[in-house]
Every structure is written in C-alpha cells, then in structure tokens.
Amino acid sequence: MGPIQTAYAATPATLDEFLARVSQHILNPLIGFMFALAFMYFMWGVMNFIKNADNETERETGKSHMIWGIVGMFIMVAVYGITNIIIGTFGLDVTVPRG
C-alpha cells in the first residue's frame, strides 16, 4: 500500500498540526518577505535623502519613504508578535511534527 499510505501520512491529522504547517510554511516566510520589502523601501528613502541633499522636494520624498519603511517594519514585527500571542493564548502547539 505504498503511494496511498504515504499520501495520507503527509496530511496533518489535527488542527494543531495544520496550523503549525501554515505558520511555518506560509505565515513566517510571508512576514519575513514583507519585512524585507519594508526595509528595502526604507533604504531607498535613505539613499534618496542623501543623494538629493541640495533638493528640498526630493529630500522630503526621501523622508516620506523612510517614515513609511519604518511603519512597514513596525507592522511586520507587530504581526509576528500578535501571531505568537494568539498561539500562546490558545495554547496551540505549532511545532511541526517530524516523520
């Protein structure tokens, strides 16, 4: 009963296992990717701010990019924290079982 049995063994048996897999394979990488995008946006604002030191309107644009980059990074850290608070509050075991 090789292939059929293996396919069923790969499916999560409980809600905890399902949530663990969603958290590990979807949420955490997505949060990390969005954090990286916000950081790149912030750095782009820093570079614009430094490069256009003599142009006031471009400096303001750079400041705006920096501020929104910081806001984006804060939101991603908050989402990660809120996710962990929810997991801890409901006592979910989000470790992915090996095997």
How is the chain split into domains, by residue range?
A: 38-93
16: confidence class by pLDDT, cuts 50, 70, 90: confident
CA dist 74 and 39 (Å) reads 10
39: confidence class by pLDDT, cuts 50, 70, 90: very high
Average confidence (pLDDT) over 10-25? 74
Q: What's the whole-model pTM score?
A: 0.74
Q: Which residue has the higher pLDDT, 61 or 2?
A: 61
CA dist 4 and 21 (Å) reads 21
Say what the pLDDT of residue 37 is.
Answer: 97
Mean pLDDT (the chain) is 83
Say what the pLDDT of residue 23 is.
Answer: 79
Closest Cα to residue 37, out of 65, 64, 10?
Answer: 65
